[in-house]
Structure 1
């Protein structure tokens, strides 16, 4: 149970795992020919691993989640500490809240202009639901990538998982994944998520 929860949390915190969730996309297609080769998928996996390994210790684990959180907190503090004196005054806090409220009002106005429903609560709930589903999916894939069960993912494990996703998407086994093959794989995942869970025996 602990392993499952820790990896779900890690997957959510690292947002991560697009390379595990799919064999790659436009960014991975470095030669821009509209298809993804296995070599491109492997290079993209190495790039993603490097970005996710925040503390650069050669593995992805809870320590990276902590490092990422600390980085985000530091950036947030810096954005609040307008004069850079190492502390946040009442005025700085008030200004930040005012700016946030103004941006929120601007987003609401843009949605109204676009003819979208103004029920912010409903939009928020729907958004959180989608993010939660993605995080759960990524968390499950991260757990599967941890083949030795040490609650950490090495670069080798990450590569194996990424290439397994590539091979699964490569329907005709020609060493290339086309946009149509990626679309078919996404449709398959959506169908699996929509399918009712099997009753416990």
Structure 2
């Protein structure tokens, strides 16, 4: 009888160990204890983060193209260093004007000592720094143009794969060394990053291929094929 009970207890511990490790079974079996409130079957534990979605090469190129269009301010099919810097300057000017309008509480186009003090006080401890005290918590405008992949957490793998548009990128990707960067040059430059990650060269990046390589330089399994999707049948 003791052997039977010992075996049953061992089986129960093996079954519950993963759940306990994830913060589940905080109370009763319905998740009504400390970790309760979750949907049935989740045992009251935290939700798992959204895994990266498989990325199709066409989707990758579409995001890169949209980033180029945003940087090509004068729409001449080329992005120059001066053009990119003017874009950053314009964004910075917009931020400065919005900040001034916020501080100028009586909207008379001038800052009084009282308005300046009120602005510094609302910044709290940041105002004690000569660096942070000149701005707000939003920080400065970064001199890079980030790819727009939307708000879906599953698309973060795509955002991490594409190098942001910067002055350095224009220099590195400008293969014919002319006045600026063309869309074709940018797609070729960014495409090398996609091809390097696409281990089986099928035009898709799966979650396995998006994972960083292990210490031995090998990627974990899971990069063989994307899941069944409407435009990529099984």
**TM-score, structure 1 as length reference:** 0.50
* Structure 2 Cα separation of the partners of residues 186 and 40 of structure 1: 27
Return the match for 1:79 from 99, 102, 116.
99
- TM-superposed CA distance for 1:186, in Å, is 10
Summarize deviations over 1:118-149 as a string: whole Å, max 9, x none: xxxxxxxxxxxxxxxxx9xx665442211121
Tell whether the 8 Å contact from 2:72 to 2:83 is kept in structure 1 after alignment. Answer: no
Residue 172 (structure 1) aligns with? 200
Larger Rg: 2
Tell whether the 8 Å contact from 1:80 to 1:92 is kept in structure 2 after alignment. Answer: no
Count of residue pairs brought into register by the alignment? 127
Residue 42 (structure 1) aligns with? 61
Please give the secondary structure, in 1, of the residue aligned with 2:84: helix
* Structure 2 Cα separation of the partners of residues 180 and 92 of structure 1: 54
Residue 95 (structure 1) aligns with? 118
Please give the secondary structure, in 1, of the residue aligned with 2:86: helix
Residue 150 (structure 1) aligns with? 178
Give the helix-richer structure, 1 or 2.
1
* Unaligned residue ranges in structure 1 (runs of 5+): 1-31, 106-134, 189-201
Aligned ranges for residues 1-20 of structure 1 at < 5 Å? none
* Structure 2 Cα separation of the partners of residues 53 and 71 of structure 1: 15
Which one scores higher on RCO, CA 8 angstroms, separation ≥ 6? 1
**TM-score, structure 2 as length reference:** 0.44
Residue 199 (structure 1) aligns with? none
* Structure 2 Cα separation of the partners of residues 90 and 55 of structure 1: 41
